[in-house]
């Protein structure tokens, strides 16, 4: 069997995979592969390890004549045409579980940063504007008197809710299913928008959640609310968000993901009320190594003819 890996992983996958495959190719270009490169890379492979930046669509799959197992270095699978993969009989594995705490921690890093206006205050200091303690300088959120609204109460949403207890926040959540999470109340979407001081997104990107945060829903939120996105960029209509942030200077956004990654909507990075980081939610050393380990072990399991342990049901 032949294996391909679209980017260098945080473990030496060449060394680990080589004894198990006829050949292993790693296509590190210092950037995600484009569609043509992806099609070329996947062409003669039985097993392929891809990234969330690489849409595996019909066009790419039409070149993948031998492909039998696709391992994605991600939990999210919105970059994969699951229907086309199923039709072609390709097994899919992903990396759930290991990035829960890392992503919840980044969501909280953004919540705390925006809530206490750390980034704005740092800029102010850097610009030499600090002329002494002032009673109303950079007033921020009183966490213990505030409500956190979580959209999507899967593992990451629950980990974010758990941390909110340390800050004495009231927690409400919107989810299709009920989750018995200590101190968190399930509410309707409208109620969550109206009552939350902080809204943190932890739902997958689906046709139902694409642009869930559009102009209409953004305007239902408190004018002083903080919107956090460590899930997927297109859940927010980014152009509408930029407009909303411009019109409502007390509204804030903390973003780890963007609608058209790696592009960022025009004007977003210049806004003082938006704090943006480059998709680093799962970027703790342990989490990223575990994601690599899962991809590599799944590839080896497949090569040995064993059942996959992290198979995504198609
Ligand atoms: C995932 O795995 O889906 C994450 O977005 C990576 O951080």
Give residue 201's pLDDT band: very low, low, confident or very high (50, 70, 90): very high
Burial class (CB in 10 A: 0-12, 13-18, 19+), 283: middle
Give residue 183's pLDDT band: very low, low, confident or very high (50, 70, 90): very high
- Assign domain 100-276 one CATH number from 3.40.50.720, 3.30.530.20, 3.90.1510.10, 3.40.50.10860: 3.40.50.720
Q: Is 263 helix (H, G, I), strand (E, B) or coil?
A: coil
Model confidence, pTM: 0.96
pLDDT of residue 169: 98
Q: Is 229 in the pocket of ligand 1 (CB under 6 A)?
A: no
Q: How far apart are alpha carbons 80 and 60 in whole angstroms?
A: 10
| Eight-class DSSP state of 213 | B
| Eight-class DSSP state of 236 | B
Please, are residues 239 and 213 in contact by the beta-carbon 8 Å criterion? no
Tell me the torsion sign for CA atoms 74, 75, 77, 83.
positive
Residue 63 annotated to the active site: no
Q: How far apart are alpha carbons 24 and 144 in whole angstroms?
A: 53
For the segment 6-24, what is each residue's pLDDT rounded down to a tens digit?
999 999 999 999 999 999 9
Q: Is 75 in the pocket of ligand 1 (CB under 6 A)?
A: yes
Domain residue extents for the chain? 2-97+284-303, 100-276
Q: Give, for ligand 1, the residue of 10, 52, 55 to mutate: max count of ligand atoms closer than 8 Å to Cβ.
A: 52
Identify the H or E element spanning 39.
helix 35-42
Strands across the sheet containing 147-151: 184-186, 170-174, 147-151, 198-201, 226-229, 252-255, 274-276
Average pLDDT on 215-240 reads 98
For the segment 241-290, what is each residue's pLDDT rounded down to a tens digit?
999 999 999 999 999 999 999 999 999 999 999 999 999 999 999 999 99
Please, are residues 139 and 149 in contact by the beta-carbon 8 Å criterion? no
Q: What is the mean pLDDT of the chain?
A: 97
| Eight-class DSSP state of 145 | G
Q: How far apart are alpha carbons 150 and 303 in whole angstroms?
A: 40
Same fold, 2-97+284-303 and 100-276: yes
What count of other Cβ atoms lies within 10 Å of the Cβ of residue 176? 8
Q: How far apart are alpha carbons 142 and 235 in whole angstroms?
A: 27
Q: How far apart are alpha carbons 5 and 296 in whole angstroms?
A: 10
Residue 232 annotated to the active site: yes
What is the residue with the minimal CA distance to atom 7 of ligand 1?
A: 282
Domain 2-97+284-303: CATH architecture, name and number where available: 3-Layer(aba) Sandwich (3.40)
Q: Give, for ligand 1, the residue of 73, 76, 92 to mutate: max count of ligand atoms closer than 8 Å to Cβ.
A: 76
Alpha-helical (H) ranges within 133-270 are 155-166, 189-195, 215-218, 238-247
Q: Is 97 in the pocket of ligand 1 (CB under 6 A)?
A: no
Q: Is 252 in the pocket of ligand 1 (CB under 6 A)?
A: no
Close Cβ partners of 171 (under 8 Å, ≥ 6 residues apart)? 147, 148, 149, 150, 161, 164, 165, 181, 183, 184, 185
């Amino acid at each position: 069997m032949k294996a391909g890996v679209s980017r260098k992983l945080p473990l030496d996958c060449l060394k680990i995979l080589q004894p198990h495959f006829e050949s292993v190719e790693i296509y590190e270009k210092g950037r995600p592969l484009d569609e043509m490169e992806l099609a070329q890379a996947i062409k003669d492979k039985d097993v392929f390890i891809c990234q969330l930046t690489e849409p595996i669509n019909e066009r790419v799959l039409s070149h993948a004549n031998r492909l039998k197992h696709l391992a994605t270095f991600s939990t999210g699978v919105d970059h994969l045409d699951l229907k086309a993969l199923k039709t072609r009989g390709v097994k899919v594995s992903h990396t759930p579980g290991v990035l829960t705490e890392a992503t919840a921690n980044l969501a909280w890093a953004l919540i705390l940063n925006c809530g206490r206006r750390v980034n704005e205050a740092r800029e102010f200091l850097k610009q030499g504007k600090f002329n002494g303690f002032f009673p109303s300088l950079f007033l921020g959120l009183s966490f213990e008197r505030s409500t956190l609204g979580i959209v999507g109460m899967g593992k990451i949403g629950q980990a974010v809710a758990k941390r909110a207890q340390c800050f004495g926040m009231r927690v409400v959540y919107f989810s299709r299913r009920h989750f018995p999470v200590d101190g968190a109340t399930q509410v309707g979407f409208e109620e969550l928008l109206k009552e939350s001081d902080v809204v943190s997104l932890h739902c997958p990107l689906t046709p139902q959640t694409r642009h869930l945060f559009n102009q209409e829903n953004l305007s239902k939120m408190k004018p002083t609310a903080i919107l956090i996105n460590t899930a997927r960029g297109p859940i927010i209509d980014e152009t509408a968000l930029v407009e909303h942030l411009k019109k409502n200077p007390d509204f804030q956004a903390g973003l780890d993901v963007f609608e058209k990654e790696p592009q960022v909507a025009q004007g977003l990075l210049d806004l003082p009320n938006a704090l943006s980081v480059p998709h680093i939610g799962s970027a703790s050393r342990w989490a990223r190594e575990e994601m690599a380990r899962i991809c590599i072990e799944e590839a080896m399991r497949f090569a040995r003819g064993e059942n996959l342990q992290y198979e995504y049901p198609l």
